C-alpha cells in the first residue's frame, strides 16, 4: 500500500504490535506479549525488553502445551475455516475483477471489435457507499453515550464529554507514511469498509494502538528552530480483507486466525533473533498476500521474484485439543510462521488487551440468517453488468456496420491490388484491369443489423441492474426515459431511502456500536500523556489534573466500562424531526388554550424543551450555552421583547402583536381616526 490513506488492505507488517501494558511495580516476568497489529508504521521497541507482569493476576496459569499440539490445532482450524470460505472467496475474486472492468467476454474479442465496459458498476457502487455513509456518519453528533445505572467517574465527565473524547480520537486514526493526524478519520473508514462489504460480503475491523512520533518545535540557541520528537500512541483501525481472516465457521466462534505478511527487514526490530528469522524465511516465505493485494487493485500478477517476506498467522481465541476435542484453555493468543513453527508461545488475551476481548469485529453487510456465509451486494448485479456491457458492445459494432458496412472485394480484378491494402478510404478510385468482365469489384455484404429487439433487451437488462443496486436513473444523475410526475419521483426516492436506512440501521447496531465500545476500551488502556492532555481540554482543568494523577490501571478501572454508546443514524434523525414537528404543533395549540398552556408550564421544563429543539436541528446545546464570563442581557430589552413597554407592568398596555387573541377580544386601543401610542 502506498503512503497515503485509503482502503488499508496492505498485508504489510503485522507486528507493529500492541504495545505492552503500562508496568506495575512488580518484578519482571519472562515472555513477550505477542504482536497484535498488522500494517503498522515503524514497529515499537521489542516487547521482550522490559516487559512487566500483566496488570491482572491470573489464578489459573496457562498449561504447558507442546509446539506440535499448537501447530496441529492451528492447521486444523485454518483448513476448516478456509474450506468453508472457499466458495465465497471465488465469488469475491470475480467481484473484484468486475469492479476493475475485467469480464470474461473481453477475452473473446478480436481486433477491430468494441471492448467497452459500461461504468454502471463503479458509479452505482460509489452512489450506494456515499448514501450509506451519509446516513451513518454524515452529520454531527451521530452517536451518543450514557451511563447505565452508574454515576460518571468524574463530576465533569458526563455522557456528552465521553462522546467528545471518543469522537476526537476516532477522527485522528493512525495511517502510514507520517501523515497529519487528521488525515484518516471515521468517515473515510466507514466509506472504505462499506465498499469492501459490498464486494466481499463481510466487513472485518481490527482495533489496536499504533506508535507515532509527535513533533515538538522550540527555539534553540541563537534563535534557530529546534525540533524534537516525542513517542505517542494513536488509535488504529485496520480493514482486514476476506482472504486474511479465518474465523471459526461453527456457531461457537472459538477462534479468529489472522494471516499476514511482514518484511524480513522489520523482524529484528520486533525482538526476533537471527535464528528465528532464518527459520521463518525458509519455513514460510511470503509473497502470496502481495499477489492477492494486486488482484484487489486490478493489477496484473507480477513476475515471481524473492519478496523477502515471511508469512505469519495469529491465533486469537480458545485452544481446543486437535485429537480429543477437549478445551485446553480459553482466551489465548499465539503466533506461528505459516504452519511450520511456533514463533510466540501462548499468552492470555487479557495480558495484551486488558478488557480480554479479541480485537476483531466482523459483520456481514447483508446477513443471511442461520448461515455462516453471506451474499455480497454485487453478486446479483455483476452478471447483469457483464451482460449489459457485452450487449452494448454488440450494438456499437452493429451501428458501425450499419454505417460502414461489410464489403467483399475482388482484388484480382484490379490493375494494382496494392491500393486497397490499407482498406477502402472514402473517394478512392479503383482501376479495373482489362479482360476482367463487368462483375462488381466491391460488393457490400452485411451479416448483422441493429434492430429494436436489441434495444428492448438492453433496456430490460439496465432496469434489472438498477433493481439489483437499489438505485434509479435520478440517483445516477440521468433523466428518466419517460415523463414522471413529482409524486412518482418522491415515492421512488422514499422507497430507496427506506431500504438503505434499514441497511444502515442494522450496520449501526451490529458493527459501529461494538466498534465504538472496543475503541473506548483500547483508548483508556494505552492513553499516554498527549492523549490525556487532549482529554483535559474537554473535561476541564480540574478534571484534567485528576486524570493526570491516576495510574493507567486506575484510569482503565474507572472509565473503561462506565459508558455505553448508541449510534444515532438517519432514521433516528428523521424521528427527531418528527418529534420536533409534534412539539411545535402542541405549542401552537397551547397558545390558544390557556388551560393547556398552564398544564405545560407547570409540568414541563422550558430548558429541556429547548434542548430537544436544538438536538432535533443537529445543534449541540452546549455549543450555544452562555459562558460564565459573558454579560447578562439588558432587562429592559428582555421586557421590550416580551411585549411590555419600558416601565410597564401587569397593568400597563400590552403590545397587541404579543397576544393577538387577547387584543381581538378587548376594545380598540384608541378611537377611530386617532393615532394611538406606538408600542415597541
C-alpha torsion 421→423→429→431, nearest 10: 40
Task: Identify the band that residue 474 occupies on the pLDDT scale cut at 50, 70 and 90.
Answer: low
Same domain, 276 and 156: yes
Is the confidence at residue 473, as pLDDT, over 80? no
Same domain, 214 and 231: yes
Residues 6+ apart with CB under 8 A from 586: 600
Of 613, 628, 643, the residue at which a domain comes to its end is 628
Dihedral sign (CA 54, 59, 63, 64): positive
Q: Is residue 160 assigned to a domain?
A: yes
User: How far apart are alpha carbons 398 and 363 in whole angstroms?
Assistant: 46
Task: Identify the band that residue 38 occupies on the pLDDT scale cut at 50, 70 and 90.
Answer: very low
Same domain, 460 and 409: yes
User: How far apart are alpha carbons 366 and 202 in whole angstroms?
Assistant: 8
Q: pTM value?
A: 0.75
Same domain, 388 and 369: no
Residue 99 parent element (H or E) = helix 86-99
To the nearest whole number, what is the mean pLDDT of the chain?
78
What does the longest C-alpha to C-alpha distance in the chain come to?
125
Same domain, 171 and 271: yes
User: How far apart are alpha carbons 277 and 309 in whole angstroms?
Assistant: 10
Grid coordinates given for 649:
407592568
Is the confidence at residue 663, as pLDDT, over 60? yes
The parent domain of residue 91 ranges over 73-100+120-127+142-376+509-554
3-state secondary structure of 478: coil
| CA-based nearest residue to 337, from 116, 128, 70 | 70
Q: Is residue 163 assigned to a domain?
A: yes
Burial code (b: 16+ CB inside 10 Å, e: under 16) for 487-521 equals: eeeeebeeebbeebbebbbebbebbbbbbbbbbbb
Is the confidence at residue 123, as pLDDT, over 80? yes
Task: Identify the band that residue 52 occupies on the pLDDT scale cut at 50, 70 and 90.
Answer: very low
- The three-state DSSP-derived secondary structure of 615-646 is HHCCCCHHHCCCCCCCCCCCHHHHHHHCCCCC
Same domain, 344 and 470: no
| CA-based nearest residue to 77, from 370, 364, 328, 359 | 328
- DSSP string for 496-530: HHHHHHHHHHHHIIIIIHHHHHHHHHHHHHH--HH
CB-CB neighbours of 163 under 10 Å: 22
Q: What is the mean pLDDT of residues 94-118?
A: 86
Same domain, 446 and 352: no
Of 628, 651, 666, the residue at which a domain comes to its end is 628
Count of structural domains, the chain: 3
Q: Please, are residues 463 and 446 in contact by the beta-carbon 8 Å criterion?
A: no
| CA-based nearest residue to 195, from 427, 416, 470, 7 | 7
Same domain, 514 and 582: no
Grid coordinates given for 327:
478445551
Q: Is residue 585 assigned to a domain?
A: yes
Q: Is residue 285 assigned to a domain?
A: yes
Task: Identify the band that residue 7 occupies on the pLDDT scale cut at 50, 70 and 90.
Answer: very low
Q: What is the pLDDT of residue 4?
A: 39
Task: Identify the band that residue 300 occupies on the pLDDT scale cut at 50, 70 and 90.
Answer: low
Q: What is the mean pLDDT of residues 264-280?
A: 78
| CA-based nearest residue to 322, from 343, 339, 299 | 339
Q: Quickly count helices (H) and strands (E) in the chain.
A: 20, 12
Q: Is residue 651 assigned to a domain?
A: no
User: How far apart are alpha carbons 580 and 176 in whole angstroms?
Assistant: 44
**Of 43-47, 393-397, 444-448, 613-617, which range is least confident?**
43-47
Q: What is the pLDDT of residue 666?
A: 65
Contacts 24+ apart (CB under 8 A), 297-300: 297/100, 298/96, 298/97, 298/99, 298/100, 298/101, 298/102
Task: Identify the band that residue 239 occupies on the pLDDT scale cut at 50, 70 and 90.
Answer: very high
Task: Identify the band that residue 156 occupies on the pLDDT scale cut at 50, 70 and 90.
Answer: low
**Of 70-74, 392-396, 443-447, 508-512, which range is least confident?**
443-447
For cell 503466533, the residue is 335
Same domain, 535 and 549: yes
More confident residue, 297 or 130: 130
Same domain, 346 and 236: yes
Q: Is residue 191 assigned to a domain?
A: yes
**% of the chain residues with pLDDT over 70:** 77
| CA-based nearest residue to 133, from 604, 500, 611 | 500
Q: What is the mean pLDDT of residues 127-146?
A: 86
Same domain, 371 and 385: no
Same domain, 513 and 413: no
Q: Is residue 637 assigned to a domain?
A: no
Of 494, 519, 554, the residue at which a domain comes to its end is 554
Q: What is the mean pLDDT of residues 178-205?
A: 89
DSSP 28: -
Q: What is the mean pLDDT of residues 188-210?
A: 93
| CA-based nearest residue to 392, from 458, 476, 465 | 458
Is the confidence at residue 43, as pLDDT, over 50? no
Q: What is the pLDDT of residue 189?
A: 94
Q: Is residue 385 assigned to a domain?
A: yes
User: How far apart are alpha carbons 310 and 313 in whole angstroms?
Assistant: 10
Q: What is the mean pLDDT of residues 495-515?
A: 83
Q: What is the pLDDT of residue 416?
A: 83
Amino acid at each position: 500500500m502506498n503512503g497515503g490513506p485509503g482502503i488499508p488492505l496492505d498485508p504489510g507488517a503485522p507486528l507493529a504490535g500492541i504495545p505492552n501494558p503500562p508496568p506495575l511495580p512488580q518484578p519482571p516476568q519472562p515472555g513477550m506479549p505477542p504482536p497484535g497489529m498488522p500494517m503498522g508504521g515503524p514497529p515499537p521497541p521489542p516487547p521482550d525488553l522490559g516487559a512487566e507482569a500483566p496488570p491482572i493476576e491470573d489464578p489459573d496459569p496457562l498449561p504447558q502445551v507442546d509446539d506440535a499440539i499448537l501447530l496441529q490445532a492451528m492447521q486444523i482450524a485454518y483448513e476448516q475455516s478456509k474450506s468453508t470460505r472457499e466458495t465465497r472467496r471465488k465469488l469475491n475474486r470475480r467481484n473484484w475483477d468486475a469492479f476493475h472492468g475485467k469480464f470474461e467476454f473481453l477475452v473473446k474479442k478480436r481486433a477491430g471489435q468494441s471492448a467497452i465496459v459500461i461504468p454502471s458498476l463503479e458509479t452505482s457502487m460509489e452512489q450506494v457507499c456515499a448514501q450509506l455513509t451519509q446516513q451513518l456518519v454524515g452529520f454531527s453528533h451521530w452517536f451518543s453515550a450514557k451511563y447505565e445505572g452508574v454515576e460518571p467517574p468524574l463530576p465533569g465527565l458526563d455522557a456528552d464529554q465521553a462522546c467528545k473524547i471518543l469522537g476526537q480520537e476516532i477522527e485522528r486514526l493512525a495511517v502510514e507514511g507520517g501523515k497529519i493526524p487528521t488525515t484518516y478519520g471515521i468517515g473515510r473508514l466507514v466509506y472504505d469498509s462499506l465498499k469492501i462489504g459490498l464486494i466481499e460480503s463481510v466487513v472485518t475491523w481490527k482495533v489496536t494502538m499504533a506508535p507515532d512520533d509527535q513533533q515538538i518545535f522550540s527555539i534553540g540557541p541563537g534563535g534557530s528552530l529546534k525540533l524534537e520528537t516525542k513517542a505517542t500512541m494513536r488509535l488504529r483501525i485496520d480493514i482486514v480483507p476476506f482472504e486474511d481472516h479465518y474465523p471459526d465457521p461453527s456457531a461457537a466462534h472459538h477462534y479468529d486466525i489472522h494471516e499476514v505478511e511482514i518484511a524480513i527487514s522489520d523482524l529484528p526490530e520486533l525482538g526476533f533473533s537471527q535464528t528465528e528469522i532464518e527459520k521463518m524465511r525458509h519455513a514460510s516465505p511470503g509473497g502470496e498476500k502481495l499477489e492477492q493485494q494486486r488482484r484487489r487493485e486490478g493489477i496484473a500478477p507480477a513476475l515471481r521474484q524473492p519478496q523477502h517476506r515471511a508469512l505469519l498467522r495469529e491465533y486469537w481465541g480458545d485452544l481446543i485439543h486437535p485429537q480429543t476435542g477437549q478445551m485446553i484453555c480459553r482466551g489465548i493468543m499465539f503466533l506461528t510462521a505459516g504452519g511450520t513453527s511456533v514463533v510466540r508461545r501462548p499468552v492470555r488475551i487479557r495480558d495484551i488487551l486488558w478488557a480480554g476481548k479479541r480485537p476483531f469485529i466482523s459483520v456481514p453487510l447483508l446477513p443471511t440468517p442461520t448461515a455462516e456465509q453471506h451474499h455480497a451486494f454485487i453478486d446479483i448485479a455483476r452478471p447483469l453488468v457483464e451482460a449489459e456491457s457485452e450487449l452494448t458492445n454488440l450494438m456499437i459494432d452493429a451501428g458501425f456496420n450499419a454505417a460502414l458496412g461489410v464489403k467483399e472485394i475482388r482484388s484480382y480484378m484490379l490493375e494494382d491490388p496494392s491500393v486497397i491494402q490499407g482498406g477502402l478510404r472514402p473517394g478512392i478510385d479503383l482501376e479495373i484491369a482489362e479482360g476482367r468482365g463487368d462483375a462488381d469489384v466491391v460488393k457490400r455484404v452485411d451479416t448483422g443489423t441493429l434492430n429494436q429487439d436489441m434495444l428492448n433487451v438492453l433496456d430490460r437488462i439496465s432496469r434489472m441492474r438498477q433493481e439489483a443496486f437499489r438505485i434509479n436513473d435520478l440517483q445516477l444523475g440521468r433523466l428518466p426515459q419517460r415523463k414522471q410526475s413529482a409524486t412518482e419521483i418522491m415515492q421512488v426516492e422514499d422507497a430507496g431511502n427506506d431500504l438503505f436506512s434499514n441497511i444502515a440501521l442494522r450496520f449501526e447496531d451490529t458493527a459501529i456500536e461494538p466498534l465504538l465500545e472496543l475503541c473506548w476500551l483500547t483508548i483508556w488502556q494505552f492513553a499516554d500523556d498527549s492523549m490525556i492532555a487532549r482529554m483535559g481540554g474537554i473535561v476541564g482543568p480540574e478534571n484534567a489534573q485528576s486524570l493526570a494523577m491516576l495510574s493507567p490501571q486506575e484510569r482503565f478501572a474507572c472509565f473503561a466500562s462506565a459508558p455505553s454508546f448508541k449510534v444515532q443514524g438517519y432514521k433516528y434523525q428523521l424521528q427527531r424531526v418528527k418529534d420536533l414537528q409534534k412539539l411545535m404543533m402542541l405549542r401552537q395549540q397551547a397558545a390558544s388554550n390557556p388551560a393547556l398552556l398552564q398544564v405545560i408550564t407547570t409540568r414541563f421544563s422550558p430548558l429541556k424543551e429547548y434542548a430537544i429543539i436544538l438536538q432535533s436541528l443537529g445543534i449541540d446545546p452546549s455549543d450555544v450555552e452562555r459562558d460564565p464570563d459573558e454579560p447578562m442581557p439588558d432587562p429592559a430589552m428582555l421586557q421590550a421583547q416580551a411585549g411590555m413597554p419600558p416601565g410597564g407592568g401587569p397593568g400597563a398596555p400590552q403590545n397587541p402583536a404579543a397576544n393577538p387573541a387577547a387584543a381581538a377580544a378587548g376594545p380598540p386601543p384608541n378611537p377611530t381616526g386617532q393615532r394611538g401610542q406606538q408600542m415597541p
